[in-house]
Structure 1
């Protein structure tokens, strides 16, 4: 049964999470005049422990980038045993470049509210009001009898029973689905390269997925058409932030990364993806219209596996894909 919290400003638990002690202390001071139960969480190794000990009604993400805030929050859902059952609302602090992205994330329910905060705190009272509003909404929900914990963020499934009882006569479709789920790698564990034909009898092998990170719609369609004829699911992202969302949500087997993106550059987006242990094994091929030495060097340092220089044809693309996706060679 869900435990109800005291949602008054004097007692409501508020947790400020950040990778910067200075930033967390700044936000904490802005809140402590009106909220008397504010705690800070600034050490990544203790992020889950801090959340589980404090059980916040309002979680304030005071990270310097939106990507860092997403990694932290998704990490809680993947590692904590109590976050799924803890009623809370999430306020994320952002900069002006991320406003529309974080707006979309809030619309989808990934976060609950955002405050334009970095780099200057021109509207410091706004963060206090956001916490007040979060507590009022939770109070109204409680009075209406709605004490359901918030849904998991995008790309994270709700926890399943550890040992579900097998049905005595499970239909073939259910058995196939269960086998496919079991074949998924555990969070944080690199996915092993598939051995030839190691699938259960009657179970179709899981389709490969390739993520195309490209902001130009025409180029997206062009590359997508060049991949016709391959047994591959094609995903698209037009920004670095959306690419990271797609990585968490779909776990693609390979990424085609454009160098120029509207919110970042492909090198930095590659670096961020490769910094997440779960995606360290995923090959990233840089797609560029030029091959200057500095771009090549920086991309390789960031973790890129290879390059595709535009314009390229269907045969060149298929050859590259088969090189990094051995399962295609036999398809």
Structure 2
């Protein structure tokens, strides 16, 4: 296995996050002392970013411990390179996740954690954690321990790709399988392709996410959507809204200005900072229309406003404006 440079000026550091703003913040904190820092903020390129950087230290700057775990396990399931890349993992967490991340680090799932969110009074701590990671790796290398990092619990290493062989009596290349196996695989692929083609002909229902912590208001807005061919999703906080965005990929968001864990403006900024959701219109729902709220919401990426109380016709008109498919439903 080739040697890797473990000096602060050369060591490869990758900061992964769902938020461009968060990744840039962490990156700036590190770049004064570590000169090879890259950011990875688009989930669809997570594997590609890791394989391009081959990081010595991976910093997981996600809003929740669950999101950090999902990202890291996803790397091991989708990339063969991560299994052979020597690296250490630092997780940035909030105070609610401290004991859980401590448990994961003690079991070797991650290597270190920094209490960082929502604000930190010890910004140098993250730099020191990266320094420590490099020192530990250097000490292991000096002792002859250059084994790749073990996969997280429950994730097995991918099987090596079978060697290609050519059947003597045909022109078909078979990857470590019999002709019968190859025929079965081809048939399975054809069926999958046919099923995919059939699926594309079935129109997908539109989905609207209502971000509102008041259950009565949730039900009220939900009822106002009766008669529309829409799947209605609900979230009671900014964190739940992000979870729903990743899980269901809604076509539009109705965002209440006041939420229990953050402001609707900040939640909008978070969602809009994720490239995959940049196109999703977010309509702010508010009981007042002060200029500062309007300006801040538009700066955060909001597309329009709904001022409470509003009726069914007003809501439907807004939905059709931003969901053209509804205009013909």
SS of 1:281's equivalent? coil
Rate the CA distance shift 1:25–1:224 in 2: closer, same or farther, 3 A.
same
Q: Which residue of 1 aligns with 2:258?
A: 260
Aligned to 1:194: none
Give runs of aligned pairs for residues 222-237 of structure 1, distance below 5 A: 222-237=220-235
- Tell me if structure 2 keeps the 8 A contact 1:15–1:58: yes
Are the equivalent residues in 2 in contact too, given 1:259–1:286 (CA < 8 A)? Answer: yes
Bigger shift: 51-60 or 268-277? 51-60
Q: 1:66 aligns with which of 63, 68, 71?
A: 63
- Paired residues of 2:59 and 2:92 also in contact (CA < 8 A): yes
Q: Report the Cα offset of residue 95 of structure 1.
A: 3.6
Shift of 1:277: 3.4
The whole-number CA distance in structure 2 between the counterparts of 1:267 and 1:101 is 27
TM-score (normalizing by structure 2):
0.58
For residue 30 of structure 2, the aligned residue among 24, 34, 47 is 24
Residue 244 of structure 1, CA deviation: 2.6
CA RMSD of aligned residues (A): 5.2
1:120 is the counterpart of 2:121: yes
Report the counterpart of residue 285 of structure 1 in structure 2: 283
Partner of 1:147: 157
Higher alpha-carbon Rg: 2
Gaps of 5+ in 1: 7-12, 29-38, 133-137, 150-163, 184-202
Report SS of the residue matched to 1:66.
coil
Of 18-27 and 279-288, more deviation after overlay is shown by 18-27
Does the CA-based 8 Å contact 2:287-2:307 persist in structure 1?
yes
Contact 1:258–1:287, Cα closer than 8 Å, also in 2: yes
Equivalenced residues, count: 260
Tell me the distance in 2 between the aligned counterparts of 1:311 and 1:44.
41
Q: Which residue of 2 aligns with 1:304?
A: 302
Q: Provide the rounded CA distance (Å) in 1 between the counterparts of 2:237 and 2:99.
A: 13
Residue by residue, what CA displacement relative to the aligned partner does 1:262-295 show, whole Å, maximum 9, x if unpaired? Answer: 2221122222323333323221111011111221
User: 2 CA distance for matches of 1:102 and 1:283?
Assistant: 37
Structure 1 residues 102, 248: CA separation in 2 closer, same or farther (over 3 Å shift)?
A: farther
Contact 2:38–2:53 (Cα < 8 Å) also in 1: no
Distance 1:21 1:308, change over 3 A: closer
Change (3 A) 1:165 1:94: same
Q: What CA deviation, in whole Å up to 9, does each residue of 1:200-245 have, x standing for no partner?
A: xxx3211111111112222222222221221111122222233233
In structure 2, stretches of 5+ residues that fail to align are: 4-10, 16-22, 137-148, 160-184
